[in-house]
């Protein structure tokens, strides 16, 4: 699966709208993840997961910043994301199933915050992009 | 069996009352076919599905989305007995329609995204969590009679 030209354009244009709300989007995504899929909290026993916690906001920011990096390097994801890929494979070892859950929660957040922009075409492009990004991040698992 | 708290049941029925179910059904089925084009395999007789706009404006997609969401809405009234409620539909989807149950999960998540799109801020993380339980329960009920 690789992105088509028009999908790349859609992804970058949507990111431009997301960038200024990156922390809020990232935080909301995580809150949705932990509410809908409580088992994902097992990766964060050391975190204060209450609504509005500083750790939640910082981590949400971090995740969205990484998504932003991926968008900026959309033509060479595998090499641009090498460090993160290694981090997830050797240190974090988050079970691959969780990437789908996080991606879904990000899409739900985008749908809620950008009703006009989140058309079926944008939805498709971002679902595909997040799926490809997830593959890159789990590439070195074994 | 889905286990919703009273608060979750209230969230679900309250929010469901705010949306146009027919529109949710049409939009969810349309988005399913746009985001996951391989799901079109069940709908080759629907005519033009060649682009996102073709899918979303297709009359048969809208009609079928309406049909599907009416069954879903029926499920919302019988959360304590989803398996019973969807028993014959489950047999139909296995024996006659030959639909992989994975598609029920995909459609369930599309319904969630459309609800989020329609409700915005009102579709809080807690609301989503309640609806995720519902769509998972419906998907499992529809898969229950497979053999």
Structure confidence at residue B30 (pLDDT)? 98
State the fold for domain A5-138.
Globin-like (1.10.490)
Cβ pair B113:A108 closer than 8 A: yes
**φ, ψ at B67 (rounded to 5°):** -60, -50
- For the segment A67-99, what is each residue's pLDDT rounded down to a tens digit? 999 999 999 999 999 999 999 999 999 999 999
Measured at the CA of A52, the angle between CA A63 and CA A67, to 5 degrees, comes to 10
- For the segment B19-63, what is each residue's pLDDT rounded down to a tens digit? 999 999 999 999 999 999 999 999 999 999 999 999 999 999 999
Segment A45-61 mean pLDDT: 96
Cβ pair A123:B121 closer than 8 A: no
Domain boundaries, chain A: 5-138
Contact A74, A68 (CB under 8 A): no
pTM of structure: 0.95
Structure confidence at residue B91 (pLDDT)? 97
pLDDT at A1 over 90: no
Helix, strand, coil in percent for chain B, rounding step 5: 80, 0, 20
Place of tokens 């079928």: B64
Give the residue among B34, B24, B101, B18 at the shortest CA–CA distance from B65.
B24
Structure confidence at residue B1 (pLDDT)? 76
Residues 6 or more apart in contact with residue A80 via CB below 8 angstroms: A69, A70, A72, A73
Name which of B109, B114, B118 is nearest A104 (Cβ-Cβ).
B109
How many CB atoms are located within 10 Å of the residue A15 CB?
19
ipTM over 0.85: yes
Structure confidence at residue A45 (pLDDT)? 93
Residue B71 is inside which H or E element, if any? helix B59-76
Cβ pair A36:B30 closer than 8 A: no
- For the segment B103-124, what is each residue's pLDDT rounded down to a tens digit? 999 999 999 999 999 999 999 9
In angstroms, rounded to a whole number, what is the distance separating the alpha carbons of residues B83 and B77? 13
Residues in B closer than 8 angstroms to A115, CB to CB, are 117-118, 120
């Amino acid at each position: 699966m690789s992105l088509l030209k028009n999908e790349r354009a859609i992804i970058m244009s949507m990111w431009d709208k997301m960038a200024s709300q990156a922390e809020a989007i990232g935080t909301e995504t995580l809150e949705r993840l932990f509410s809908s899929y409580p088992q994902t909290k097992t990766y964060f026993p050391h975190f204060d997961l209450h609504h509005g916690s500083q750790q939640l906001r910082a981590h949400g920011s971090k995740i969205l910043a990484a998504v932003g990096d991926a968008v900026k390097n959309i033509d060479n994801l595998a090499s641009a994301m090498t460090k993160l890929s290694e981090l997830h494979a050797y240190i974090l070892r988050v079970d691959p199933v969780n990437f789908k859950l996080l991606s879904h929660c990000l899409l739900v957040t985008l749908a809620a915050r950008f009703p006009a922009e989140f058309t079926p075409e944008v939805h498709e492009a971002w679902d595909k992009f997040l799926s490809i990004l997830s593959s890159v991040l789990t590439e070195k698992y074994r | 069996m889905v286990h919703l708290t009273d608060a979750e049941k209230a969230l679900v029925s309250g929010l469901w009352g705010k949306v146009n179910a027919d529109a949710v059904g049409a939009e969810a089925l349309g988005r399913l076919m746009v985001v996951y084009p391989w799901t079109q395999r069940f709908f080759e007789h629907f005519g033009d599905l060649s682009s996102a706009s073709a899918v979303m404006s297709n009359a048969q997609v809208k009609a079928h989305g309406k049909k599907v969401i009416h069954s879903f809405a029926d499920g919302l009234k019988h959360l304590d007995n989803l398996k019973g409620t969807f028993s014959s539909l489950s047999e139909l989807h296995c024996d006659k329609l030959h639909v992989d149950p994975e598609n029920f999960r995909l459609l369930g998540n599309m319904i969630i995204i459309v609800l989020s799109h329609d409700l915005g801020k009102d579709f809080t993380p807690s609301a989503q969590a309640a609806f995720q339980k519902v769509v998972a329960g419906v998907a499992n009920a529809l898969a229950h009679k497979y053999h």
